[in-house]
Amino acid sequence: MKRLLHIEQIKLLNYNPFRITLGLYFIAFALGLLIYPAVDKEIPVISLSDLFRFPDVWVFLTWVTEPYNTLLALIIIMITTKEFSNHTFKTQLVFGLSRTDLLLQKLLSIVVLSFFATLLLGLTSLTLGLIYSYKLTFKIAMENTWLLGRYLMAAFSYMSFGLLIALLIKNTAMSLLTFLALRVFVDPVLFLILRKYEIKWYLPFRTTTRLTPVPDLIEIFQRKMNNAESLDETALDIIPKGLPAWLNILMVLLYTSLAIFFSYRLMQRRRFI
């Protein structure tokens, strides 16, 4: 395991597009520390800075940074298709690695990047929470940190889909365009077409994005105003319900498992020439 990870590390650190894209990902988070508070304009009743306080900062940042996982998927696509174009896969087979080892290398990269992204999100949320929270206890600060687990799952899922597409298409440009088309165009269009049917919540990318749901601004408003009375239930209708949390997580695990399974099948059958 350590040997495979070491080999993958050497390849990645010497690949400029990997370093550039990962740098952009890091910069996106770093800018969040500056940009999000900078646009803290007063809106009716609630200030944007309320979303940077514990425990709401965990909910807000996991939601607003969820699209960043697309960059991680693009990284996996680039480093995988590069191995086809440079015949690296074939070379590693000649030097004794199995096809299963080759897939395991990529999965280890996905695991490491997933933990990196989650750690970065955690540190960013913690920093903003400490800066903007005026009522701070350990219990309040740690509330909602379970969302980091969902973010980790979402990052892993995105990159697993990216890996499958890269192994299926092999060409870097076509793989990148295919993934972006599925994420940015196909999924939203299918969601609109199926908007009257419950099946819309079962779309692969839709289930993944629902792991980090939209913050409940109505609940935050109530808490800020110290309002003991519940708001009218109809006010909550503006927030789409989607699948129950347990079913949503189950569907993500299913789709991710299928992506890994088909990646394994492709890796076993693919000719690395």
What confidence tens digit (pLDDT) does each residue in 184-234 have? 999 999 999 998 889 999 999 999 999 998 876 656 656 666 554 444 444
Tell me the average pLDDT across 132-160. Answer: 91
Q: Which residue has the higher pLDDT, 6 or 98?
A: 98
**Predicted pLDDT at 219:** 65
**Predicted pLDDT at 234:** 47
Residue 78 has pLDDT above 70, yes or no: yes
Instruction: Calculate the average pLDDT of the chain.
Output: 84
**Predicted pLDDT at 133:** 85
**pTM score > 0.85 for this model?**
yes
Residue 266 has pLDDT above 90, yes or no: yes
Banded model confidence at residue 235, pLDDT cuts 50, 70, 90: very low
Q: Which residue has the higher pLDDT, 118 or 52?
A: 118
What 3 state SS string does the chain have? CHHHHHHHHHHHHCCHHHHHHHHHHHHHHHHHHHHHHHCCCECCCCEHHHHHCCCHHHHHHHHHCHHHHHHHHHHHHHHHHHHHHCCHHHHHHHCCCCHHHHHHHHHHHHHHHHHHHHHHHHHHHHHHHHHHCCCCCHHHHHCCCCHHHHHHHHHHHHHHHHHHHHHHHCCHHHHHHHHHHHHHHHHHHHHHHCCCCHHHHHCHHHHHHCCCCCCCHHHHHHHHCCCCCCCCHHHHHHCCCCCCHHHHHHHHHHHHHHHHHHHHHHHHHCCCC
